Amino acid sequence: ELEKCLDALRDISNDPPTVGFWGILFAYCASAFTGCVILFGGSWIDAGISGVLGLIVGILCIISNRYSIYGRVFEISCSVMVALAARALHQYVCFSSVAVSSIFMVLPGYSMAIASMELTARNINIGTIRLVYAVVYAFVLAYGLQVGHSVYSVIDPLAPEDDHCVPSTISHWIYIPLFPVMTVAVGMAYGSHYRQFLTQTLCASIGYLPFYFLGKVIPEGQIVGCLSAFVCGLYANLALKVTGEAPIVPLCVGITLLVPGSIGVRGAFALLHQDDILHESFPIEMLTICLGLVAGLFSAAMIVYPSGKRRSLYI
């Protein structure tokens, strides 16, 4: 069995990419555009600028994959570039919405999603390492944003510190057509096959509905995240029973949209920017929400498989 697994891994590593050059560019651009509107409360102008910056981040990602020496500074360089552009357009866009959504596909959400599933599968060592790595990774991205923010302040000392942030006037009904585009874009960036887009969209939608509606009445993000993860876990386990498809396929997108990757970057940026000393608690907030997701996935697995299951449920 070990030899078969190694052969399968070699075949996977030698296969051509599921998504090509243009697909990656579309994924980064579309995820930044839709994520700005749906997840970060941006305006149409914010979304447009985020889409353009997301496209540039996608190009830098492709370059980093081809040239390993640049890959070592990819995260910081794209964060600095995004922060510079967002600050240069401070009269027209909201810095926080544009900066975070532009690096949406670089946020540590996927790492925290995999960490949650590793912990659910009782892989404590790997899950803990991934979780700590995600927190450190959030600091790296926030450091890049802070550097870009400070560099522009040196270039234009008269630039105001206040962002052009106003409450979004976009109707929430527009989320309905934009949400499938966002999930497909995230799936493409993760290398999903087009046949997996439907189940990933369904899982993400089922998880986002309680996250959206309950978030208005329950202020505790841990509770809302736990309930949303529970629903996603139910869907993934039932899909495993019906279709035999690995639960990680829908969950990698569904849980990614729930994990607090943006919370980590925003909190770290605020800490480095010294806006509020209370933001020092942001790593704890990231960890508690992630543990809430783990609890939701555990509960879903317990209901679908009350007698237990030998093989890992999600990985």
How confident is the model at residue 283, as a pLDDT? 62
How confident is the model at residue 29, as a pLDDT? 94
* Separation of alpha carbons 149 and 11, rounded Å: 44
How confident is the model at residue 280, as a pLDDT? 47
Q: What is the pTM of this model?
A: 0.85
Mean per-residue pLDDT pooled into runs of 10, the chain (315 residues): 80 79 92 89 89 94 89 89 89 85 83 75 82 82 86 82 72 90 91 87 89 80 80 86 80 77 49 46 67 80 71 51
How confident is the model at residue 133, as a pLDDT? 86
- DSSP code, position 307: T
How confident is the model at residue 54, as a pLDDT? 93
How confident is the model at residue 67, as a pLDDT? 87
How confident is the model at residue 256, as a pLDDT? 78
